[in-house]
Amino acid sequence: MAPDTNRHVDQEELESYSMGRIPEEECVRLEEHLLVCDSCRKRLAETDLFIASMRLACARLRAGARPKKTPRHGRSSV
């Protein structure tokens, strides 16, 4: 049976896909949908960036690095 490729991809699916944790069957549907859906591609690009940055940051923090202090003017503080 052909996968339902019309349905948009939810955030959890995008995250699983970005991290390579998605089952093959679901991967088929998702990748076919991404071929034709601009908005889901944008959301995947955002998710990719977030995950790559978070992985690096987690590794750095565990290695004992500390975030650099940045001047408050013109920037938001956490």
Residues that bind another protein (CB under 8 A): 2, 5-12, 15, 19, 21, 28, 31-43, 45-46, 48-62, 65-68, 70, 74-76, 78
The first and second tokens of residue 45, run together, are 């690009």
- The CA-CA-CA angle for residues 59, 52, 10, to 5°, reads 130
Contact 44, 18 (CB under 8 A): yes
